[in-house]
Amino acid sequence: MAVDEPLLYYMLMKIDKELTLANGEMRNINMTYMMMLRLRPYRIIKLYNWNKCLYNLNNRLYCNADKKFNDYKLAKLNRQAKRNAFRARLAQNIRATKAKMEEIIERENIWTIPNFLCIGRIMTTPYISYLIVYSHNYHVALWLLGFAGFTDLVDGWVARTWSSQASKLGSFLDPMADKLLVGTLFLSLTWVELIPLPLTCLVVMRDVLLIGAASYIRYRSLPAPKTLGRYFDPSHATVQLAPTFISKLNTAVQLSLVGGTLAAPVFHFIDHPILQGLCYLTAITTVAGGISYLMSKNTYKLLSKKPLNNGSSSS
């Protein structure tokens, strides 16, 4: 018996319903074989109609799957596009923040004469220590110490006389160079048994604590983002140190003790009562200088930041 096209469509629709699960997913079976089993009682004369109906059925069965796949792929592409857009906005915001911080944080000229003199004093310190510990050439070490003290006086005078030569970096560099010189010479002279060990421990311990406190203040005063590059960038001035009067007096007493101790082997007055008195005076001023840094409110000053482009200022 011949099957007309509407009846064939009806049979194929029944097969379509049987081959579809409740959630819309299709069974993994051979569609052609199932249709042949269901349509075996009938005689299909028109092969063209059979092929046409089979093609239409396949379209109905698989178009939903293609649509689901296309929707999933489209959603995936949308999520990827959103992620790329978010990353681009994040990178742009980071660049804008860095540019704004460059405008906010005060930059200054660090290539000044006082800073060069401080760097020269720092570079001279290891050689003086070598002359004391290994060469025992106290005569040359005494001359180099005098040169270091002279540069200390000159850089302070230049910075006070010409305002263009003053820098916030110099407020850090000058006391750090002094402490490095004094601490190294105290250790070297203690090694050759010219300065008592307890006094050297007291001086070095106070200087280490002061350097640690200055490093912490530098970190706290640096606006975000706080990176190592910006932390060690000397042109980013965020705080200015102001040594106390007792601290300046202590530095002068320490340099006098070091100079006198170096001159003792040259001029043959080792263990002189004046040197012993300088040792006691150094211990007293060292402790008093450390206490003055803790008690004084003007030890350091946070620098004001430049106003933004919109006219507002940040503190």
Where would I find the beta strands (DSSP E) of 115-235? Answer: none
* pLDDT value for 71: 66
Q: Give the fold, CATH level 3, of 110-302.
A: Four Helix Bundle (Hemerythrin (Met), subunit A) (1.20.120)
Counting Cα atoms < 13 Å in the Cβ hemisphere of 76 gives 6
Q: Is the dihedral angle over the CA atoms 249, 251, 255, 258 positive or is it negative?
A: positive
Tell me what percent of the chain is helix, strand and coil, each rounded to the nearest 5: 75, 5, 25
Q: In terms of pLDDT, which residue wins out, 35 or 189?
A: 189
3-state SS class at 106: strand
Judge contact between 286 and 206, C-beta under 8 A.
yes
Judge contact between 292 and 219, C-beta under 8 A.
no
Q: In terms of pLDDT, which residue wins out, 236 or 40?
A: 236
- For the chain, the straight-line distance linking the first and the last C-alpha, in angstroms and rounded, comes to 96
Q: What is the largest CA-CA distance in the chain?
A: 137
**3 band by pLDDT with thresholds 50, 70 and 90:** very low
Q: In terms of pLDDT, which residue wins out, 161 or 308?
A: 161
- pLDDT of 22 higher than 60: no
- Of 40-44, 187-191, 211-215, 305-309, the one with minimum mean pLDDT is 305-309
Q: Start-end ranges of CATH 1.20.120 in the chain?
A: 110-302
